[in-house]
A = this chain, B = another copy of it.
Amino acid sequence: MLFAKPLAELIAELEKLPGVGPKSAQRLAYHLLRVPDHEASKLASSILNAKEKLRFCVRCQNISEQDECEICKDVRRDKTVVCVVGEPRDIVAIERINDYRGQYHVLHGLISPVDNIFPEQLRIRELLERFHHEPLEEVIVATNPTIEGDSTALYLAKLLKPVGLKVTRIAHGMPVGGELDYADSATLLSAIEYRREM
């Protein structure tokens, strides 16, 4: 046995984390053994605390400490627009630009038949439910510009347009500061497709 049992167990648990291979799990475990007890306890308790305190907002499905999240409760935000994203972290990315002032809706995944993720597993039912209670007019589909994100966008458009909603998709194109020379052809193609009159 190379590792003492509690160490082997810790390494095994760390290895389950995304992006953490056997080598970095070992590195993290040894680090945790080296730091003062109170520091390791703080990490452990912050995990337990986050799991205990956080839930999904009943409205937008974002991570929240209350039944309804801060963004949904904010009366200054535009109640007629909802931006649909795949993951809670996507909201953080959009909020960071400090420009969008509407609502959100988190699907918690994207349609991906190869990974066995179908529309029923996403929070689409909850999105439809919102139209009955909220004065929504436009749905901005801000899922990733990937096959999964695009299929999800297409699915939502087919579902929501008949209900009389305006469904828009965030633009795919050249990243600001990027060079045409280095862009992949799918991005370039999208940039031309999404072109706008000047």
Contacts and interface: CB of A to CB of B under 8 A. Distances in A.
A40 B47 CA distance: 7
A51 B47 contact: no
A175 interface: no
A45 B46 contact: no
Given A1-B70, A19-B24, A29 B51 contact: no
Contact of A89 (B4, B30, B43): B30
B46 A13 contact: yes
Interface string A152-186: 00000000000000000000000000000000000
Contact of A10 (B2, B26, B47): B47
Contacts of A196: none
A33 B92 CA distance: 15
Interface in A50-82: 50-54, 63-65, 69-70
Contacts of A28: 17-19
Contacts of A9: 46, 49-50
Contacts of A47: 10, 13, 32, 40-41, 43-44
Instruction: Assign chain A's interface to a size class.
Output: 35 or more
A187 to B, nearest CB: 22
A54 B8 CA distance: 11
A7 interface: yes
Given A27-B19, A46-B13, A7 B37 contact: no
6 nearest CB pairs, A to B? A44-B44, A10-B50, A6-B53, A6-B50, A13-B46, A13-B43
Interface of A: 1-7, 9-10, 12-14, 16-19, 24, 26-33, 37, 39-54, 63-65, 69-70, 87-89, 92, 95-96
Given A2-B92, A40-B48, 11 more contacts: A5-B65, A6-B50, A9-B50, A17-B32, A17-B43, A26-B92, A30-B88, A32-B51, A41-B47, A43-B47, A44-B47
